[in-house]
Amino acid sequence: MKKLFSIVLALSITLSAVGCSGTPIGSGGGDGDGSKTTIVFAMYEGGFGTTWVDEAIKTVEAKYKDEELEPGKKGLIIDVKPDKGYSGSGVASLYGAWDCDMYYTESFSAYNEFAKRHAFLDITDVVTSKVNGEEKTIEEKMYQSYRDWFKVDGAYYALPHAYGSGGISYNVDIFEDNLCYFNESGTGFVSSLTENRSAGPDGVSGNYDDGLPATYDQFFTLCEKLANASITPVAWSGQMLSYVASMMSSLAVDYAGYDDTVARFSYKGEDVEVAKVKEININDREPIFENGVLQTEKVKITEENGYKVFQQPGFYYALTFMQKLINNDRYYDVNMCTGTGFDHLGAQEEYVYSAADPSKRPIAMFVEGSYWYNEAKGAREDCAIDYPTEDGSERRFAFMPLPKANADKLGPQTLIDTNQSAIFINAEIDPVKIAPAKDLLKELYTNEYLSYCARETATLCPFEYEIAPEDYEAMSYFGKSLLDMKANGTRHVFPYSQSKVILANPSFGKPNADWETSKHGTNPVSYFIERKGDENFGAKEYFTSMLVKRRPEVWANSILPQQ
């Protein structure tokens, strides 16, 4: 008996050999009965979900249903493997053990390095082709800042997909029920929904953002109104303060505008507005204020003086916004926003339910990425079942165009893409699968399919395309709000470029890198929460510490790639 037990125990050790399969995430083997050629498509299972590819897959599978791509196999199956492990860092760290044919991933900062290693299949022929008889090629449709990143040494190896940005969403029903829209003069609120409203942040009357807070001052006036009505003005996940920092980055980028933001990430630009700085000594510097106003100047940006991009005044104004918000407990849910008790999903659920559950205090606005709406699909559906509306319609949420620091800055929005998604084909793909894999890519990037994706996921992709009327009608209110922003001049910047500074310091493309300081940590939200009400610590001190962190000496010695 003992001997038998020893043998069984010894044999069980060999089970560890299964760890040698090289398939650490999900399953790369593919499903199906083996009678069809299988393409395995690994997809990151994040806020956008993975079901948006299903229709494209059906189309391509139908195209190849009678084709014999491999001997003895007729037809094609494209097998989707959704898993959270297929994030950018997850995919990159598994390089060498990639066993899927195609990948959809997000936050893929390693793209350039892997493209140069030829880890991906060259898809330039796909990107430079006109799909579905369209007038423009995929490349021509793609936003410029994305082209600059995805084209490496003259070739394309991946394509971007849905973008997302940090920002503020609002509950349209609460806004309408409480008349939270500014009147035409902007000095107060409307007394009815039919009354003329202010022009909104873009400064143009008669469009999607009329009545919404155009400036920081108006935003806080709105918060005051909501707080007086026993409505929590703003909330966010206290555990995921990085999303709030991401919103602050959006405020900073919007202040800078499109051209200055492109200059910031490419380290190439003329007349870029930066704060004036006084160099006290080699280790110390401070911003210059006059009568309490930050002084600025316009400079040429190069890689050598790239530290100046961290002097963009938008950072300072975003800090003032956050400081004012945190310092007033009435403007946000202190419990939800400062503790670890609410992760991002819990906060989304709380926000959604707050509008419906009469035992909860309503929350008007929510700070999260624009992908939160799709990510909260389960919570929204559950809420609709638990607390259906009287007429059975969906509750309305919308993505708010961010307020501007002052009235001089009114205009279209500029945002950065925090999603940084990419779809690529594994360079090691079986040659017989290349054609159908490329066909899938082409299908995904037709205007028709991009429009369909927008409808399904309430997100948009960085290409110029029209949304079909039927897709627009079927879109959620939230999706329409994103579309309205795009249609009214909102532009997205991809926060990576071929600049050596970015290639050597890929963290600069992530919003949280914006807020690194020498003395106050790396998250301004934590900073303001901990020092609430302390007059010695504020936006100016934090901004100063940011400037010290990126001072010329450190830039030249530690950040600029050494030749």
Partner 1 sequence: MKVKLKGNSRLMKEIIFFTIMMIVPTVQYLIFGFGIKINLITLAFQTFNVDTNQMEWNLLGNFEKFFAQYNESLELQNSIRNSLSLPIWTIFLSIFIGVFFSLYIYKKQFGSRAFKVLLFMPSIVSAIVMTRVFSMFVDRAYPDFLRLTFGVEAPLGLLANKDTRWATLIFYSLWSGFGSSILLYVGAMSSISESLSEAAKLDGCNMLQESIFITIPLIYQTILVYITTGIAAIFVNQLNLYSFYQHTASASVSTMGYWIYIQTLSAGGQTQNYAYLSAVGLLLSCITVPTTLIIKWFLNKVGPKTE
- Give contact residues for partner 1 (rule: CB under 8 A): 10, 13-14, 16-17, 88-95, 107-110, 113, 116-117, 238-242, 245, 329, 334-335, 338-343, 500, 503-504, 506-507, 510, 512, 516-523, 525-526, 529-530, 549, 554, 557-558, 561
Tokens of 44: 């990151």
Q: What is the closest distance, in whole angstroms, from the C-beta atom of residue 238 to partner 1 in the complex?
A: 6
**CA–CA dist 96, 324 (Å, integer):** 49
* Residue 192 vs 563, nearer CB to partner 1: 563
Whole-number Å distance between alpha carbons of 368 and 362: 17
* CA 256 vs CA 53, 100, 251, 291: distances in Å: 35, 41, 9, 22
**Which of residues 78 and 226 has its CB atom nearest to partner 1 in the complex?**
226
CB of 289 to partner 1, least distance (A): 24
Of 45, 42, 47, 148, nearest to 95 (Cα)?
Answer: 42
Which of residues 276 and 500 has its CB atom nearest to partner 1 in the complex? 500
Q: How far is the CB of 55 from partner 1 (least distance, A)?
A: 31
For residues 31 and 534, which CB has a smaller minimum distance to partner 1 in the complex?
Answer: 534
Q: Three-state SS string across 34-81, please?
A: CCCEEEEEEEECCCCCCHHHHHHHHHHHHHCCCCCCECCECCEEEEEE
Select from 281, 279, 269 the least CA-distant residue to 312.
269
Smaller CB separation from partner 1, 30 or 238:
238
Q: Report the residue number, 460 or 548, with the smaller CB distance to partner 1.
A: 548
Is the Cβ of residue 102 or residue 241 nearer to partner 1 in the bound state? 241
CB of 529 to partner 1, least distance (A): 8
Burial of 111 (0-12, 13-18, 19+ CB in 10 A): buried
Asked if 163 and 419 touch (Cβ cutoff 8 Å), the reply is yes
Tell me how far apart the alpha carbons of residues 29 and 23 are, in angstroms, rounded to a whole number: 9
Torsion angle in degrees (nearest 10) through CA of 206, 208, 211, 217: -120
Is residue 31 a contact partner of residue 38, using CB atoms and an 8 Å limit? yes
Q: CB of residue 173 vs partner 1: minimum separation in angstroms?
A: 26
- The distance of closest approach from Cβ of residue 365 to partner 1 in the complex, given in angstroms and rounded to an integer, is 18
Q: How far is the CB of 287 from partner 1 (least distance, A)?
A: 18
